[in-house]
Amino acid sequence: EAGVAQSPRYKIIEKRQSVAFWCNPISGHATLYWYQQILGQGPKLLIQFQNNGVVDDSQLPKDRFSAERLKGVDSTLKIQPAKLEDSAVYLCASTNPTSGGGTQYFGPGTRLLVL
Amino acid sequence: GNSVTQMEGPVTLSEEAFLTINCTYTATGYPSLFWYVQYPGEGLQLLLKATKADDKGSNKGFEATYRKETTSFHLEKGSVQVSDSAVYFCALRESSSNTGKLIFGQGTTLQVKP
């Protein structure tokens, strides 16, 4: 079974530029999460989707971050404009709510550096 | 709000030493508890989990017991190997949903020397 795929793996941009990350969850996983992991900290949830609907985006900085999952499969996370403090690893995870006890499976992450 | 606190690292051990990484949590209700491991250059992998009090999760020689009375979920291994060098994260999932978000501790870096 293929795991969670993310791209790109690394991205370097200057502040005020925009950037987008892509995630392809495990096939059949209806629930998808985006987490932000700042260096030296644990991941923190940005947004959670159930199919193509948003379940929780309470921690998403909506003035600059946006995310979508239009067809209930792939998802993109966008930052516009980026700030220095957005430098972090962006992790995508997915789960099948009807099996596996809700275990979340993580992708390799996208490492973003904002200069 | 709910939170997870882990012992500060880095933890440096010699091969075959005994490992304990402390984890305590604050939560309402009965959360599920997890240990994830992150090897260098890789994503987070589930190491073990426990979903109710007194449950013991185990995998690859690692163990952790869900202790509600002390709100703890300490990770242990009897004999560590160099290949266990990684960052370990303790996490909880709120009890109300099977798909709820994970709340992570700050992570503990383990370095095992030959």
Q: Coil, helix or strand for A61?
A: coil
A112 Cβ partners below 8 Å, 6+ apart? A11, A12, A13, A19, A21, A79, A82, A86, A87, A88, A89, A90
pLDDT(A100) > 70: no
Please say if the pLDDT value at position B30 is more than 70: yes
- Among A6-10, A68-72, A83-87, B78-82, which is the least confidently predicted range? A68-72
Mean pLDDT of chain A: 93
- How do residues B47-105 score in pLDDT, each as one tens digit? 999 999 999 999 999 999 999 999 999 999 999 999 999 999 999 998 667 778 899 99
Q: What is the mean pLDDT of residues A63-81?
A: 95
Give residue A96's pLDDT. Answer: 87
What value does the mean pLDDT take over residues A10-23?
Answer: 97
**Average pLDDT of A92-100?**
84
CB contact under 8 Å between B99 and A107, yes or no, is no
Distance from CA of B56 to the nearest CA of A (A): 16
User: What is the pLDDT, as a whole number, of residue A104?
Assistant: 92
**What are the Cα distances from residue A14, in Å, to A6, A89, A112, B48, B114?**
21, 16, 11, 39, 42
Short-list B50, B44, B96, B95, CA closest to B73:
B50
| pLDDT (0 to 100) of residue B19 | 97
| pLDDT score at B107 | 96
Q: Using 50, 70 and 90 to split pLDDT, how confident is the model at A46?
A: very high
DSSP letter assigned to residue B82 = G
Q: How far apart are CA B7 and CA A73, in angstroms?
A: 37
Let me know: does B88 contact B21? Beta carbons within 8 Å: yes
* Res A1: pLDDT: 66
Mutation site, B3, B44, B92, interface A, largest A CB count within 10 A: B44
From the candidates B32, B42, B101, which should be mutated to test the interface with A, based on the most A CB atoms within 10 A?
A: B101
pLDDT the model gives residue A26: 94
Q: What is the rounded (10 degree) CA torsion for A69, A29, A94, B5?
A: 130
| B19 vs B100, higher pLDDT | B19
Q: In Å, how far are A55, B9, B39, B100 from A47, measured between CA atoms? A: 8, 29, 25, 11
Instruction: Give pLDDT, residue B114.
Output: 94
Structure tokens at A7: 């791209």
Residue B43, pLDDT score: 86
Torsion sign over Cα A72, A69, B92, B109: positive
CA distance A23 to A72: 12
CA closest to A56 among chain B residues? B101
If pLDDT is split at 50, 70 and 90, which confidence band does B41 have? confident
pLDDT bin (cut points 50, 70, 90) of residue B1 is confident
Average pLDDT for B36-42: 90
Residues of chain A with Cβ-Cβ distance to B107 below 8 Å are 40-42
Buried b or exposed e, range A57-67, using 16+ CB within 10 angstroms: beebeeeebbb
